[in-house]
Structures are given as structure tokens and as C-alpha cells.
Amino acid sequence: MSDTKHSSPKKSRIASISGTASQDFEPYEAQNPIPWPIIAIALALTVWGIITLVTTSQMADSKPEVAQGPTGADEPLSSTMEPAAQDGRQLFVTHCSTCHQNNGAGIANAIPPLRQSRYVLANAEVPINILLFGIQGEIEVAGNTYRGRMPTFGRDLEDDQIAAILSYVRESWGNQAPAIEAQTVAEQRQRFAERTGPWEGGAALAETFGIPASTRSSTRTATNEEDG
């Protein structure tokens, strides 16, 4: 009995202490402060982001609108340029100088010269049609006879390009003949719209356009008339 009496106060005191501890206990974490360099970096990044956002927005608002051209605005200028604006010399170098040379002298015994050629200086219809359809067979130029073939350019070149080339040739290397308009080229193209092959040498040009196939006969005739 005595043991029971002595143990009771201890148990009650322990229980009292346990109960008090259980009721008053609250969990907690140790508060570790964030290092100030990290805070400074975070603030700097925040400020930088805000400034970038505001600047980008202002630039977008102030950027002028680019006017959109009508459909076809990017087409080659050659389709809208006047014939006079075509570079006749450059076109000649590109398409003709391989045979006729840059100085129009041609190649001896192979390619006739363009300098003082009666076919170049003739009525505009003659050189236009030579360039449009080409020529093959025998042709006499400057007293020499040539047998060859000039290619057809009518399928590859526009009217204003042909006009530019011929105008350049008719005004270069001592040649003096009027320039040729694109409209004149268009008229000749339409005139011989059904033609599919090149001209058969100087004889065909003489028959169609009345230009002498040879200057030798005319020279002999003039000499005979003077003798008479």
C-alpha cells in the first residue's frame, strides 16, 4: 500500500509535465536569411526585364508601316522601260559581240563587219528583219562575200531590245543612221508573222526589200555610164 501511495504523485507529476509539453509544442523551422547578393541580382534582373519590355513596346509602336505596292510591282523594269532607256551597247555585247566583235569589225572571211555596212545603214526594215529572223547563205558586205548563218533573235529578244541594239549599231563606229523605235520593230514582226525561217542570203533581202544584193554590179554600171 505504501508503495502505491508513493508512486502515485510521481506518475501524476510526469503526466502533468507530459500533458503540458504536448499542449504547448508547436513545430518551427529555423529562419535562414537570403544572402543579400542574391536579392540584388534578382532585383537587377527584374528591373532589366521591365526596361526591355517597355523599350520593345515603344519601338513596335513607333515603327513605320511599309507601304505595299500593287500586284506586279516586282516585275522586271524592262517590261515598263521606254526603248530609249534600254542599254543598246550592253545588249550588243551580250548577244552580238562574240561574232561581230566589240568594235563591229567582224571576223575576216567569216563574219561580215557592221561598220559602214549597207545592210546596217539601209531603211530600218532591213536590219530589223535580219535581226528578227536571221540570215543564211551568201551575202556580200564591203566587197567581200560571206557564207554563213546569223542566228534568229526574234524569239529571244523583245521589240525594245532589238530597237536598242540596232540603234546602237547604226550610231557607232562611224555609222550615221537614224535610231529605230520599238514600234517599228513591232510592225515588222507583225508584217512577217508567218515567217518561220531565216532569210536566204542577200538575194532574198534584195527581192523583199529592194536592197542590191551586190555593190559590184552597181559600180560597174556607173562606170559604164561615165565611159559612154
Residue 29: inside a domain: no
**Contact of 130 with 119, CB cutoff 8 Å:** yes
pLDDT at 25 over 60: no
Residue 117: inside a domain: yes
pLDDT of residue 4: 45
Looking at per-residue pLDDT, the higher value among 19 and 198 belongs to 198
The share of the chain scoring above pLDDT 70, in percent, equals: 65
Kindly report, residue by residue over 86-111, the tens digit of the pLDDT.
599 999 999 999 999 999 999 999 99
| 144-150 β-sheet, strand order | 144-150, 135-141, 199-200
Residue 32: inside a domain: no
Q: Which amino acid, 188?
A: Q
How many domains is the chain partitioned into structurally? Answer: 1
Nearest Cα residue to 164 out of 88, 77, 85, 90: 88
Looking at per-residue pLDDT, the higher value among 226 and 151 belongs to 151
Q: Which amino acid, 174?
A: G
Residue 60: inside a domain: no
Mean of per-residue pLDDT scores for the chain = 77
Q: Which amino acid, 48?
A: W
Assign 217 a pLDDT band (cuts: 50, 70, 90).
Answer: low
Residue 2: inside a domain: no
Residue 133: inside a domain: yes
pLDDT of residue 43: 79
Kindly report, residue by residue over 104-146, the tens digit of the pLDDT.
999 999 999 999 999 999 999 999 999 999 999 999 999 999 9
For 159, counting Cβ atoms within 10 Å of its Cβ (0-12 exposed, 13-18 middle, 19+ buried), the class is buried
Residue 67: inside a domain: no
CATH number at residue 178: 1.10.760.10
Name the residue range of residue 107's domain. 88-209
Kindly report, residue by residue over 147-202, the tens digit of the pLDDT.
989 999 999 999 999 999 999 999 999 999 999 999 999 999 999 999 999 999 99
Residue 108: inside a domain: yes
CA 129/CA 208 separation, integer angstroms: 10
Looking at per-residue pLDDT, the higher value among 45 and 185 belongs to 185
Helix, strand, or coil (residue 167): helix
